[in-house]
Structure 1
């Protein structure tokens, strides 16, 4: 099938051709036709499946079929959980709408709000936003959602994981009841299906891949390694494999900072990207990574969600996630657009249960190897703390209110007589 056979207009076909895409991905084939028909869509699509174009292309076509209104109210809203994802979706919207008379904007927190206000006051047709900044702008009467015709909730599972459920409900109430709704999620949990029932109307359900499956082109393996040896093992993998680009995941922001410093000291140029970094610092780190100025990008799950890194060859789980689904999101950064990728996990003794949970979710085992020179040894046995000794007080001192007795020296008779 071709993009033309999906029913896209010549202006959109020209934009797609400019990006050198020759044929639609599975999610695009399945999602674009029902969106063009005006149907609500519930889509299960992993990272790297082309899902953004799956909703952006038909959304732009629908909006371009009518001449824009003079004041250009927001007619389409794309809600994303993170700044990085919002920026990436906005770039796609701009690229695909290059030959259309449509305006778009992106708003998210962590940056100066004034340029965003100025952009919105000039009027936009498509708005890409994160929940917090959008509600902030709406409360200031800078933006109205009363004319929204198409609403896209992207990466809905991550939206709920990050605690945005209440914000999403508030935003839903700000839009007209009559609109087209599209919900995209990597997984279909009970919470996602409950959310979908709340605002989707007789949706068409599409799947780009089996739920919770990982890309076939990703080679997955793991090394059993002691926690203290993880950095040394990682450095050996990078040097001996001559890796030029690797995305590394840690569980915490402080862990990302520590690892970044260690890698730089060992000759692996790296940068960290997480929630405590300013937006400018995050953009700079990602740009340096894409350009090859640095080899390693150390990230937390939240910060890395939505990152678009073309042809990323290696992903390393320096620490396994305690939520198995996050493993799927992590390694989905590689093996994209038909390219091969490698995902390696460094598994300590204390993470074996996490590995079992991931394997249960995937439905298969992940080969566990031991690197020569870094044999993990036996799992340490937790030492029992010695029982505290208890001393029984005598009755004379057990009363808290009793005063401490201080011995008094008796005076002699001779002194008494003076």
Structure 2
């Protein structure tokens, strides 16, 4: 997939940054993600995984805010990872009106619940905080279109895997995307529960 097939605001942002064509791994996955496939995207650092998340989410949501419930949920390890990913989104949001929000443990949960209730398109969240907000009826996942995990190695520390595994129980149809440096055998549980037909895509050497 070339950048020419993205919506105009994304094409403009990419051009302004001097990005003329996708990196090799992005060429493997971007068209598949655009087509709606659920995937395990496995590649080393520096292969463009994070930018692929940002571009794919903005493209899927057509760069347009819509009603109040989030349509994309991205799990990250901690506050710093959430803020870093938010910055990456902000670099590509020019010309769109998408609303991106970070939910992490160090912030007042009542404030987070109220801010999400006011209307958000993309939620970047740590697993424990997302689940706490959900159980307080502070987030509506009924409109979710994309469920993403960035740098998924963190899932296997501090019970994060169990926390994230709970969330799909409250979701109907959704596209699932997991980005990691290696495929962990524990992901096979997800293949047997909510990622039935997910593709495993590794960087071609």
The alignment's TM-score, normalised by the length of structure 1, stands at: 0.46
Segments of 4+ in structure 1 off by > 6 A?
Answer: none
Decide which of 47, 50, 59 is 1:49's aligned counterpart: 47
Decide which of 2, 9, 27 is 2:25's aligned counterpart: 27
Decide which of 4, 7, 10 is 2:8's aligned counterpart: 10
Give the aligned partner of residue 105 of structure 1: 101
3-state secondary structure, aligned to 1:69: coil
Q: CA offsets, 1:266-287, max 9 Å, x none?
A: xxxxxxxxxxxxxxxxxxxxxx
The whole-number CA distance in structure 2 between the counterparts of 1:209 and 1:195 is: 24
Q: CA offsets, 1:352-410, max 9 Å, x none?
A: xxxxxxxxxxxxxxxxxxxxxxxxxxxxxxxxxxxxxxxxxxxxxxxxxxxxxxxxxxx
Contact 2:75 2:150 in 1 (8 A): yes
When the two structures are aligned, how many residues end up with a matched partner? 205
> What's the Cα RMSD here?
2.1
1:182 is displaced (CA, Å) by 0.8
The whole-number CA distance in structure 2 between the counterparts of 1:118 and 1:163 is: 27
3-state secondary structure, aligned to 1:39: coil
Contact 1:77 1:127 in 2 (8 A): yes
3-state secondary structure, aligned to 2:3: coil
Contact 2:104 2:129 in 1 (8 A): yes
In the alignment, does 2:134 pair up with 1:138? Answer: yes
Distance 1:144 1:162, change over 3 A: same
In the alignment, does 2:121 pair up with 1:122? Answer: no
Whichever structure has more helix as a proportion of its residues is: 2
Distance 1:163 1:209, change over 3 A: farther
Distance 1:125 1:41, change over 3 A: same
Decide which of 177, 193, 198 is 1:198's aligned counterpart: 193
Contact 1:104 1:126 in 2 (8 A): yes
1:96 is displaced (CA, Å) by 1.7
The whole-number CA distance in structure 2 between the counterparts of 1:73 and 1:81 is: 23
Give the gaps of 5 or more residues in structure 1: 211-418
Contact 1:80 1:155 in 2 (8 A): yes
1:33 is displaced (CA, Å) by 0.3
The whole-number CA distance in structure 2 between the counterparts of 1:90 and 1:115 is: 18
1:155 is displaced (CA, Å) by 2.1
Relative contact order higher in (CA < 8 Å, ≥ 6 apart):
2
1:50 is displaced (CA, Å) by 1.3
3-state secondary structure, aligned to 1:127: strand
The whole-number CA distance in structure 1 between the counterparts of 2:85 and 2:25 is: 16
The structure with the larger Rg is: 1
Contact 1:156 1:192 in 2 (8 A): no
Decide which of 20, 33, 36 is 2:34's aligned counterpart: 36
Give the aligned partner of residue 174 of structure 1: 170
Distance 1:35 1:92, change over 3 A: same
The whole-number CA distance in structure 1 between the counterparts of 2:191 and 2:77 is: 16
Give the aligned partner of residue 151 of structure 2: 155
The whole-number CA distance in structure 2 between the counterparts of 1:97 and 1:113 is: 26
1:204 is displaced (CA, Å) by 2.8
